[in-house]
Amino acid sequence: MTIRSLVAAMALSTCLVTPALADPKIMVEDAYARTASDSAKSGASFMIIQNMGDSDDRLIAARSDVAARVELHTHKENAEGLMMMLPLEDGIEIPAGGEALLKRGGDHVMMMGLTEGLADGDVFSLTLVFEDAGEITLDVAVDRGRKASHDHGDMKHGGTHDGGHGSGHDHGHDSAHGSDHGSGHDH
Ligand SMILES: [Cu+2]
């Protein structure tokens, strides 16, 4: 992987991937993708989709420039006990005030017919289409080092997110506003 894509991947992993909306209904957190190899023809994306609104929503489609086709898949055990992937015709529901967890071995966004392949650390743009919230485009980094289980009860992860976000906002706003207004008015 290149230095540039590594830096991009690191930056992505430390911040929320959200659209620039004033009051987003849907927030996508912790998105990452996997491919079996740099030249693999397919890959999958995983993430946590949170519904901050008071009505249910549904992920109904997805697309990306890096893939000929993007489908919503899940894994199911067949009669022989093998795990099979199959398309979710009705999409993925995200209940009001709840979340949908897209993880390995479960629901996922399947990218098929990768045009140039995706190497570890590559970042690509993925557009999610929601029934109610409309389209949300996010950057997803390929991360083959990610462990299989996507445990939401990870205290360390949640703690750094909340702490960094809260204090950063408050300080930035107060000082910037105060000095700008003061000097502007006097002159
Ligand atoms: Cu799949």
Per-residue pLDDT tens for 39-73?
999 999 999 999 999 999 999 999 999 999 999 99
Between the CA of 87 and the centroid of ligand 1 the distance, in Å, is 7
Per-residue pLDDT tens for 89-144?
999 999 999 999 999 999 999 999 999 999 999 999 999 999 999 999 999 999 99
Compute, in degrees rounded to 10, the torsion defined by CA atoms 22, 28, 29, 35: -140
| Sequential DSSP letters for 100-159 | EEE-TTS-EEEEEEESS---TT-EEEEEEEETTTEEEEEEEEE-TTS-S---TT-HHHHH
Which residues, listed in sequence order, are joined to residue 28 by a DSSP beta bridge?
Answer: 17, 49
Between the CA of 108 and the centroid of ligand 1 the distance, in Å, is 6
The alpha carbon of residue 99 and the mean position of all alpha carbons in its chain are separated, in whole angstroms, by: 12
Between the CA of 178 and the centroid of ligand 1 the distance, in Å, is 52
Tell me how far apart the alpha carbons of residues 17 and 14 are, in angstroms, rounded to a whole number.
9
Task: State the pTM of this model.
Answer: 0.68
Strands 57-63 and 108-114: unpaired
Between the CA of 32 and the centroid of ligand 1 the distance, in Å, is 14
Per-residue tokens: 29: 């957190």
Among 136, 60, 59, which Cα is nearest to 94's? 59
Mean predicted lDDT score pLDDT of the chain: 79
Among 110, 104, 106, which Cα is nearest to 72's? 110
Between the CA of 170 and the centroid of ligand 1 the distance, in Å, is 42
- Asked if pLDDT for residue 170 goes beyond 60, the answer is no
Tell me how far apart the alpha carbons of residues 34 and 5 are, in angstroms, rounded to a whole number.
15
132 in Cβ contact with 49 (< 8 Å): no
Strands 26-35 and 134-142: parallel
Amino acid at 47: M
Between the CA of 172 and the centroid of ligand 1 the distance, in Å, is 43
Between the CA of 9 and the centroid of ligand 1 the distance, in Å, is 23
Domains of the chain: 3-149 (2.60.40.1890), 154-180 (no CATH)
Between the CA of 166 and the centroid of ligand 1 the distance, in Å, is 37
Residue 24 confidence (pLDDT):
87
